[in-house]
């Protein structure tokens, strides 16, 4: 009996001692109802550690270049910082607004928090674990978009029908009119890899706008039709994808010249994309159903398709473009999709399904 207890103690100590200090090696999955985050090794495809949190992790952010995890609770309006090296919560922030949308910037050092219901914006310095500034009168908007120059933050202002720009240094807001009628439903903005072009979908009219970031004017309007999802730009910078959630249609556009490159048809509701290496193998899926398809952007054909066990809450791509990571709201598992051999592997994680997740380093850089 003493030998058995020694073995159990050894196993317990081994789990607790797992080195999770390098965020780039892990996927962090928050439980849908409980205050826990499971840490999944990307290499070994298994949970190696469980974090018990003091608040519910409705949003999770992992800084790729420092051992810092931040999670936010929408109801409590709080954010907590967790030291992945020491494996302990180290700081808590009370937020002056509801953190319904949380975005990490391209450097991994700043976090933008917005609210598409009541408005408000908070900029957090991830390394200092402090609020840089807060704007209570900021327009109601979903996910903001960080420009790679670390100065500008773009957002969609539905009330004014415009694309907004927030200057971090001066905290001044500039507006670029997209539609004449206020109240049009606009997607969050996306950008080209070089940040020269910005893309916003008008969900009300079925149009997708391409704006020149330097002249602040609409460069081209795509009469896409249907119900366009948020435009997606590929990590290599070659293509811009337009997705019709209503009809399951994809139009791939070359960003150099804005010419149509390929079209494809999937099941309805497709609104999530993960792109493989060289912008070739693309995983298309939906946050409203369980169907998935892998589209080869070179041969312009669907090369694999299937049905997940659960309904995805989101999709992220590995930095090398080989894997896609999927978390599900209704099953206590996550999926790793190999974009090259088209296999799907399910890994147990959480107890009640996922409410939020992230990976320490992703190739989804232009969203």
pLDDT in tens, 99-130: 999 999 988 999 999 999 999 999 999 999 99
Contacts of 218 by beta carbon, 8 Å cutoff, 6+ apart: 178, 209, 210, 211
pLDDT band at 12 (very low <50, low <70, confident <90, very high): very low
- DSSP-assigned letter for residue 36: E
What are 194's two structure tokens?
Answer: 């070089």
pLDDT in tens, 237-286: 889 999 999 888 999 999 888 889 999 998 888 999 999 988 899 999 99
pLDDT band at 1 (very low <50, low <70, confident <90, very high): very low
pLDDT in tens, 125-153: 999 999 999 999 999 999 999 998 878 99
pLDDT in tens, 189-221: 999 988 889 999 999 999 999 998 888 789 899
Q: At residue 88, does pLDDT exceed 70?
A: yes
- DSSP-assigned letter for residue 188: P
Residue of 335, 306, 352, 247 whose CA lies nearest to 27: 335
Would you kindly state where each structural domain of the chain is located, as residue ranges?
29-49+248-367
CA–CA gap between residue 64 and residue 82 (Å, rounded): 14
pLDDT at 184: 86
Regarding the domain with residue range 29-49+248-367, which homologous superfamily does it belong to in the CATH classification?
YVTN repeat-like/Quinoprotein amine dehydrogenase (2.130.10.10)
CA–CA gap between residue 227 and residue 300 (Å, rounded): 22
pLDDT at 365: 60
Q: At residue 9, does pLDDT exceed 50?
A: no
pLDDT at 257: 84
* Residue 146, phi-psi category: left (phi > 0), alpha (psi -120 to 50), beta (remainder): beta
What is the strand order of the sheet 312-317 is part of? Answer: 312-317, 323-328, 333-338, 344-348
Q: At residue 14, does pLDDT exceed 50?
A: no
pLDDT at 141: 96
pLDDT at 10: 42
CA–CA gap between residue 31 and residue 61 (Å, rounded): 15
- Which one has a higher pLDDT value, 297 or 366? 297
**How many alpha carbons lie under 13 Å from residue 202 in its C-beta half-sphere?**
25
């Amino acid at each position: 009996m003493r030998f058995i207890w020694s073995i159990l103690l050894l196993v317990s100590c081994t789990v607790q001692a797992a080195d999770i200090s390098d965020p780039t090696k892990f996927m962090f999955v928050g439980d849908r109802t409980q205050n826990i985050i499971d840490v999944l090794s990307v290499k070994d495809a298994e949970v190696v550690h469980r974090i018990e949190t003091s608040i519910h992790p409705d949003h999770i952010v992992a800084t790729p270049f420092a051992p810092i995890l931040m999670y936010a609770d929408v109801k409590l309006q709080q954010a907590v910082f967790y030291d992945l090296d020491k494996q302990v919560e180290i700081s808590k922030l009370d937020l002056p607004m509801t953190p319904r949308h949380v975005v990490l910037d391209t450097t991994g050092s700043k976090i933008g928090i917005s609210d598409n219901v009541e408005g408000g914006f908070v900029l957090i310095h991830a390394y200092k674990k402090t609020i840089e500034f807060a704007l209570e009168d900021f327009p109601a908007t979903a996910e903001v978009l960080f420009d790679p120059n670390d100065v500008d933050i773009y957002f969609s202002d539905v009330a004014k029908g415009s694309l907004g720009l927030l200057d971090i240094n001066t905290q001044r807001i500039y507006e670029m009119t997209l539609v004449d009628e206020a109240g049009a439903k606009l997607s969050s903005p996306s950008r080209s890899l070089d940040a020269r072009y910005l893309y916003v979908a008008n969900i009300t009219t079925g149009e997708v706008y391409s704006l020149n970031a330097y002249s602040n004017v609409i460069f081209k309007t795509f009469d896409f039709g249907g119900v366009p999802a948020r435009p997606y730009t590929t990590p290599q910078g070659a293509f811009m994808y337009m997705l019709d959630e209503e009809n399951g249609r994809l139009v791939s556009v070359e960003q150099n010249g804005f010419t149509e490159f390929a079209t494809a048809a999937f099941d309805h509701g497709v609104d999530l994309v993960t792109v493989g290496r060289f912008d070739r193998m693309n995983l298309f899926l939906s946050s409203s159903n369980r169907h998935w398809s892998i589209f080869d952007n070179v041969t312009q054909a669907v090369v694999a398709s299937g049905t997940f066990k659960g309904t995805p809450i989101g999709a992220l791509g590995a930095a090398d473009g080989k894997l896609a990571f999927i978390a599900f709201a209704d099953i206590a598992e996550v999926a790793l999709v190999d974009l090259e051999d088209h296999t799907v592997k399910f890994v147990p994680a959480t107890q009640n399904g996922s409410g939020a997740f992230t990976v320490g380093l992703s190739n989804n850089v232009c969203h």
